[in-house]
């Protein structure tokens, strides 16, 4: 186990900073993404639960930034001095969540992706301070997941109208979660985070882990998703070839428009349509929520 900066090689420190930055930025940027639809929760108790999720996410971001401080980074600068395109959060939180159905679907799918990633790190990481900090994070993320699963089941079974709202959310959020885990293993030229045992599972293994619980949930409530379990291969398989183009304005995947992984990485680097608004909310402390 590595306990301090003094014990690290230059390569180890660089790889650790990279994954901590992505983790901190993703946790931080989920807060403004979740805020507006939380204000439109169906009742006060549910709104309280949604705000608790946001509070947790801000705390999780603080943990990552605090660990980065130990590695010589400045937390204030990380949050307040970077331009929107400099943040390294996962692409999903650059999108505008339009309603409560999209919010709880994000809890059920995207928080699940966060759990898969952080659980792997919690179990396998060689960096002791992060391993200990993730004990608290893992428990709180389980609450977010249960909240999302509960509401996805409720909305899917309440009425055809609410069911269709959840289905539309799944249609654009599921493939984003598939991309969440990064390049396929056969496309990666090197993986320092594995070599230094900062994490334990490959991208494709993490994707399988996520699908092994996400797909059964959606099948249980009768929602469609572009993946299924292949008994012969003993794995979950996608019903489309990665990667494909995404129309971020319409929130639609163009499955008949294949692209390269370089195109995907260009999209990630360019950030999504809501990133400037969300960064401004965080850096200015100003919230403008419609009724």
Mean pLDDT for back-to-back runs of 10 residues, the chain (291 residues): 96 96 96 95 94 94 96 96 95 95 97 95 97 91 92 96 97 96 88 94 97 97 97 96 94 94 94 95 75 35
Per-residue 3-state assignment (H helix, E strand, C coil) for 99-132? CHHHHHHHHHHHHHHHHHHHHHHHHHCCEHHHHH
Structure tokens at 4: 């301090």
Positive/negative CA dihedral, 180, 183, 184, 188: negative
Tokens 């996400």 identify what position?
214
Structure tokens at 113: 């992706």
pTM to 2 decimal places: 0.93
Residues 278 and 93: beta-carbon distance below 8 Å: yes
Residues 149 and 83: beta-carbon distance below 8 Å: no
pLDDT of residue 290: 45
In order of their start, the domains of the chain are 5-284 (1.20.1260.10)
The per-type count for the chain, helices as H runs and strands as E runs, is 10, 4
Q: What is the DSSP letter of 86?
A: G
User: Whole-angstrom Cα distance, residue 77 to residue 91?
Assistant: 22
Residues 121 and 198: beta-carbon distance below 8 Å: yes
Residues 102 and 173: beta-carbon distance below 8 Å: yes
Structure tokens at 286: 């100003």
User: Whole-angstrom Cα distance, residue 252 to residue 96?
Assistant: 13
DSSP output for 154-192: HHHHH-HHHHHHHHHHHHHHHHHHHHHT-S-GGG-S--H
Smallest CA-to-CA distance from 174 within 273, 74, 106, 104 is with: 106
Tokens 């939180």 identify what position?
93
User: Whole-angstrom Cα distance, residue 39 to residue 265?
Assistant: 33
Structure tokens at 152: 């996805």
pLDDT of residue 288: 59
User: Whole-angstrom Cα distance, residue 72 to residue 223?
Assistant: 46
Instruction: Determine the straight-line distance between the first and last CA of the chain, rounded to whole angstroms.
Output: 50
Instruction: Please provide the size of the chain in residues.
Output: 291
């Amino acid at each position: 186990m590595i306990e301090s900066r003094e014990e690290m090689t230059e390569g180890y420190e660089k790889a650790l900073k990279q994954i901590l930055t992505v983790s901190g930025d993703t946790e931080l940027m989920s807060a403004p993404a979740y805020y507006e639809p939380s204000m439109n929760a169906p009742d006060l108790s549910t709104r309280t639960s949604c705000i608790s999720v946001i509070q947790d996410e801000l705390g999780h971001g603080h943990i990552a930034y605090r660990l980065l401080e130990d590695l010589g980074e400045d937390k204030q600068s990380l949050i307040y001095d970077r331009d929107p395109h400099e943040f390294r959060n996962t692409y999903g939180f650059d999108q505008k969540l339009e309603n409560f159905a999209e919010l709880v679907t994000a809890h059920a799918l995207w928080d699940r992706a966060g759990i898969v990633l952080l659980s792997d790190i919690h179990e396998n990481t060689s960096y002791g301070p992060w391993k200990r900090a993730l004990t608290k994070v893992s428990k709180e993320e389980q609450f977010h997941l249960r909240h999302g699963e509960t509401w996805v089941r409720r909305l899917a079974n309440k009425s055809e109208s609410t069911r269709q709202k959840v289905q539309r959310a799944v249609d654009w959020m599921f493939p984003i979660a598939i991309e969440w885990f990064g390049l396929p293993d056969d496309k990666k030229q090197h993986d320092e985070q594995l070599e230094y045992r900062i994490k334990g599972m490959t991208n494709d293994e993490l994707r399988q882990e996520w699908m092994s619980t996400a797909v059964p949930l959606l099948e249980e409530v009768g929602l469609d998703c572009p993946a299924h379990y292949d008994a012969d291969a003993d794995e979950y398989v996608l019903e489309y070839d990665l990667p494909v183009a995404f129309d971020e304005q319409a929130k639609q995947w163009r499955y008949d428009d294949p692209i390269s992984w370089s195109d995907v990485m260009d999209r990630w680097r360019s950030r999504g349509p809501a990133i400037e608004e969300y960064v401004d909310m965080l850096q200015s402390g100003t919230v403008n929520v419609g009724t």
